[in-house]
Amino acid sequence: MVSARASLRFVLPMAACATFGCGYQSARKTTPEQGWCVEAGSDLSSYPQALSAATSAMRDALAQRGALAASCRQDRVLLVGVVRVHAEAAGIVASRDTTGDLIPSARATRVSVTISIQQAGSTVHEVTEHALVASQASSLEQENAMDTGSVVAARRAGDRLVRTMTGEPGPW
């Protein structure tokens, strides 16, 4: 049998949620005129993982600053696009095979991602960020490392774009 005190521990929080609502609410109230909406600029991106990561990072950064709008006017929409993803060799580790010849056994790659945001059809900002990734010599592992690097660099670029928009100093 449940005591009255135990049932109150359950009923009071439920009543508070029903009365005041549950879920995320920003500490700083924003109206659609103050907040920004962030959307992926193109569904046909050659780098969907990087585009998704940049869009998500921008939404996270705006939400942390209380500047993400739940719904907004068309002129407050930021369209995120991946301009380019570039990889260049940053280093190679060699080892000797059974015959004594040097062969590459691992490589490091510097992945650069450039993203831009557009507002009302014109490019507002464009930034490039980098990530250093390493992989074994197999082509599948190199491709996975490239994907990982593009996601990391895109998240950094999304965060940096928000800091640029809001006038905050960055760690660069």
Domain ranges of the chain: 25-166
pLDDT in tens, 116-149: 988 877 778 889 999 999 887 678 888 888 899 9
Percentage of residues of the chain with pLDDT beyond 90:
25
Q: What is the pLDDT of residue 111?
A: 93
For range 62-72, the mean pLDDT: 82
Q: What is the pLDDT of residue 7?
A: 52
pLDDT in tens, 15-57: 454 444 444 444 444 444 467 888 888 766 688 899 999 999 9
For the cut 60, the answer to whether the pLDDT of residue 87 exceeds it is yes
Q: CA–CA separation, 143 vs 68, rounded Å?
A: 34
Distances (CA, A) of 24 to 13, 21, 27: 16, 9, 9
Contact call for residues 35 and 72 (beta carbons, < 8 A): yes
Q: Is 51 exposed, middle or buried (0-12, 13-18, 19+ CB in 10 A)?
A: buried
In 10 A of CB 119, how many CB atoms? 16
Tell me whether strands 37-40 and 77-96 are parallel, antiparallel or unpaired: parallel
Contact call for residues 84 and 54 (beta carbons, < 8 A): no
Q: What is the pLDDT of residue 158?
A: 93
Which residue from 122, 46, 58, 56 is spatially nearest to 82, judged by alpha carbons?
A: 46
Q: Is the pTM of this model over 0.95?
A: no
Which residue from 4, 1, 68, 5 is spatially nearest to 37, judged by alpha carbons?
A: 68
For range 52-69, the mean pLDDT: 90
Tell me whether strands 37-40 and 102-119 are parallel, antiparallel or unpaired: unpaired
For range 92-102, the mean pLDDT: 85
Q: What is the pLDDT of residue 60?
A: 93
Q: CA–CA separation, 157 vs 12, rounded Å?
A: 44
| Residues contacting residue 29 through CB under 8 Å, at least 6 positions apart | 66
When the pLDDT of each residue in the chain is averaged and rounded to a whole number, the result is 78
Q: Which fold has domain 25-166?
A: Double Stranded RNA Binding Domain (3.30.160)
In 10 A of CB 137, how many CB atoms? 15
